[in-house]
Structures are given as C-alpha cells and as structure tokens.
Structure 1
Amino acid sequence: MKVRAPRHGLARVLSKRGVCSRTEAVRWIVAGRVSVDGRVVRDPEFPIAGDGQQRIAVDGGDLEEARRVYLMLNKPRGLVTTASDERGRDTVYRCFEGGLLDGRPLPWLAPVGRLDQASEGLLLFCNDPAWAARITDPESGPDKTYHVQIDVIPDAALLAAIEQGATHEGEHLRAKAARLLRTGTRNAWVEIVLDEGRNRQIRRLLAAFDIGVLRLVRVAIGGIVLGELPKGQWRALSAAEVASLALP
C-alpha cells in the first residue's frame, strides 16, 4: 500500500521554510504573488504535499529554503515585541534595521517567546518554527532566569512564599526559584527562575504579594546568558548554543 505524503496548507509551508511569517504568507498568497506548479494560488490553505515535488514560486522565483538564522537581542525597555504595532509604538525590529550577518542582509525573523514593553533583556529570534516551538514548550522548554528590582526588601519567608506560589485572577503562579541578589535602602534586586511561560507571569505573581516591579531583566534562557551584550544590540548564536537550547 502506497503511503501518501502528509499535506500542509500553503501559508504554513512558506512559514516553515523560514521565508516569512504565516501572517505575511497569507498576504502574499491572497495578493497573487505565490504560484504552485506554474499556477497562481490565492488560497492560503491550498494543500502542499510534504514530498517536495510541487514547485512553489514567489514573484516568479522558485522558493528556496531560507538559511536558518538564530539570534539573541538585548531588548531595551520601551519596545514592543511585534513586527508592527497598531498604536505606532517602536518595536524590537528597530534593532535589526540595516543588519548584516556574514555580509548578507538578515532574513525574516520571528521572536521566540515575548518580553512585554516594560521588560528588558534576552530575547531570541529565528526563522526556524520547529526550533522555536521546542524553546517555548511549557512542558519541556528551558528555564528562564530574570533579575527583578522590587519595591520591598524581602526576607527568607517571602522568597519561599514566591516559590510556593499564589493564585492571581484564578490562576496559580509560582517561581521555580527566588533568591536575594542585593538590597538598597528601599528596594532590592532578586533573581527569579521560571520553568514555565505565562503571560506577564512574574509581574502577576509578585502583585499577588503586593510587590511592585521597578525593573525586570531577563538574563538567561537555559544555558544562554545575556552577558555583556550592549542594550539594543544583537549577535548570532553559535551552533553549540542552538543545539543546547533544543535539547529535551
């Protein structure tokens, strides 16, 4: 019995090959820029077999698998993690304007996870959806480490309570680890490690203990550390770093 190759929608195929986001792929397809076997296709869900036998072209040129690129950015505070913003706010893509890697312009890249507008630090980008999915998987993805300036000076009991967790708006939130880094006269820096990724998790968790966040900086994802990378700058990940983050 002949086994048929699995089929995926055309927009998904463009995204999985790393040439654009799925949203952008839909725009290209609807605009008539994409053809399959010489015929323009305007249906983003048009089935494409996984055997690679169909010829896909964009603007008349054969579609090629984009070179895989993996970057880390030191995200500045105030930028939103999106390609475009309906409110006109600056986005993280401002940091990549005119960027070159090995003498060539950067391909399309998507953020791996998010940092909210007020947060700073390590943010990953790639054009490899499968790799990104492994990093962001809430069950098996790597731990994420943050340095957080808070408006109280915590004692050991409070740090233990943060690790135990609290319910905020019907959702139980907790930290895998919380430890004191240093203190001032009215505030302190703590290190918080998360082994799951929920929207605004640290801010919501600390709010449950009436703790205000003054600054929030992500400093590590798994074994990849922000280090001395300047604010607003990026660098390519090494092959070893890429492989280490993809490990289960």
Structure 2
Amino acid sequence: MKTSPRHGLARVLSKCGLCSRTQAAQWIADGRVEVDGRVVRDPEFAIVQGRQRVLVDGKPLDQAQQRRYVMLNKPRGLVTTASDERGRDTVYRCFDGAGLPWLAPVGRLDKASEGLLLFCNDPQWAARITDPEMGLDKTYHVQIDTIPDERTLAALLDGVVDAGEPLRARSARLLRSGEKNAWVEVILDEGRNRQIRRLFSAMGIDVLRLVRVAIGALQLGELGKGQWRELSVEELAALQR
C-alpha cells in the first residue's frame, strides 16, 4: 500500500506560496501556525499536506494569503534571489515599502540581464508558466559588439553545442545597428542557463546588454526600470492559453 509523503511544516507553508521557508520557520516559532487544532513550534514537524488541517493566524492555507501575480522591469546588477550570501543587491529591493506578501520569482534573469521578470505566490501557476510543454516563447533584445550578417543570424537558429548541451534560438532578426554594434531580437522556446550569452560567445561575439521584453503574449511595454505592476485578469488568461 502506497503511503502519502510527509514533509516538514515550514516546507509545506513555503510550497503553498505563503512565504519563504525562512519566514515560515519564524511564523512557526512565533506560534502563528496550528496543526489539527494545536500550535506547533517545530518547523520540521512532519505532516501529510491535505490530510491535516493547517491554520496560519487562524485561517486555512487557501485563505491565509490572497494570490498575487506581479511583473517587474528588472534593472541590471540585481540578482534574482531573496537573499545573497555575498551581500549583493537582489530584485526584492524593487519591492521595498510596497507592502506585498511573499512573492517568488517565476524563472530567472541573471545579474547582468534586464527586463521582464514575473513573481507570484501561487506555486502551481508558476510551475505551469515555466513548464516547457506550455510553449511560452521568451523574447529578448540583445546588444552585441558587432554587426551580424545573415549567416550569423542563421547560425543562431542552427544552434551550437556548449559544454555538451545543445543551444539554439527559435528566431533571430536584426533590429538596428550602429557603426560598431547592433541590437538583435532573439526568441527562445526553451530555457537554459545563460543560453543567449552562450550562443553568441560560441561565435566569438560579446553581449553588451540583454533585455527580456516579452513572455508569451505578455509585453514589458513602457514599465519603467525597477518598477512593477500587477498582472490583469486578461494577461493571466493570455499566459495560460
């Protein structure tokens, strides 16, 4: 007979999107969490999610926090993490003073990259959005240190193998060029670590700036650098089509 998995209470709270695991441990230590009618102060207290009644501040998990879905125009130089062991500024600096509940990033942008980054406190929604089966294209505007010809753009679609990993773009086109550099639009239908930088690097080309401007039908638009806003009902629906 198959038994249901048991998980630590702090992990369950964080997986529900209520807070980070560190915050969950603090809530539990503060006596804000009940399991089956009694206060539990051990963050590793094992439960079977869905089988035991868990309350936070007297409310069931599905009522303890309103679901929030946010888009941020991530500035360059911020790391996509809640806290950084090296003391670097994180994307959460952009939410200072906003009074938002705990929100987790949906996907990542590396420190040197900019643009559209999603956050939510709905792990199931985040999993759907990042699932490759959803087929959500991600569109980037990339400044490079050369003027690409048609052969270079075609090579991005043909792809390369870097560190044993195949990398390719779904489409690439020249947006504009100057005397020594150019902006290229690159669309990816898969998400691999530093994929665009690695693609160009394999061709001996340096990326000067990298800005994500769209995820599926959701456009960054005129949202200012470091600014955020909540997604509309229509935008949420469009992302899940």
TM-score over 0.5 for the alignment? Answer: yes
- Equivalent in the alignment of 1:107: 101
- Equivalent in the alignment of 1:102: none
Partner Cα distance (2:93, 2:139) in 1: 25
* Post-superposition offset of 1:16: 4.0
- Equivalent in the alignment of 1:116: 110
RMSD: 2.3
Secondary structure of the residue aligned to 2:42 is coil
The Cα offsets for residues 146-179 of structure 1, whole Å up to 9 and x where unpaired, read as 0000011111111011111001111110001111
Does residue 1:85 correspond to 2:79, yes or no?
no
Return the letter of the residue paired with 1:50: G
Partner Cα distance (1:236, 1:244) in 2: 14
Secondary structure of the residue aligned to 2:64 is coil
Partner Cα distance (1:180, 1:97) in 2: 37
Does residue 1:128 correspond to 2:122, yes or no?
yes
State the TM-score, normalizing by the size of structure 1. Answer: 0.87
Partner Cα distance (1:170, 1:32) in 2: 50
Partner Cα distance (1:45, 1:167) in 2: 45
- Equivalent in the alignment of 2:193: 199
Aligned pair partner of 1:223 in 194, 217, 224: 217
Secondary structure of the residue aligned to 2:133 is coil
Aligned pair partner of 2:149 in 155, 164, 167: 155
- Equivalent in the alignment of 2:42: 42
Partner Cα distance (1:220, 1:47) in 2: 40
Secondary structure of the residue aligned to 2:65 is coil
Contact 1:34 1:42 in 2 (8 A): no
- Equivalent in the alignment of 1:13: 12
Structure 1 residues 44 and 30, CA gap change in structure 2 (3 angstroms): farther
- 1:137-156 equivalent positions in 2, closer than 5 A: 137-156=131-150
Partner Cα distance (1:139, 1:23) in 2: 31
Partner Cα distance (1:62, 1:41) in 2: 17
Does residue 1:212 correspond to 2:206, yes or no?
yes
Return the letter of the residue paired with 2:93: R
Partner Cα distance (2:23, 2:240) in 1: 26
* Equivalent pairs, count: 236
State the TM-score, normalizing by the size of structure 2. Answer: 0.89
Task: Identify the range of structure 1 (64-73 vs 224-233) with the bigger mean alpha-carbon deviation.
Answer: 64-73
Return the letter of the residue paired with 1:173: L
Unaligned runs of 5+ in 2: none
Structure 1 residues 127 and 209, CA gap change in structure 2 (3 angstroms): same
* Post-superposition offset of 1:142: 0.8
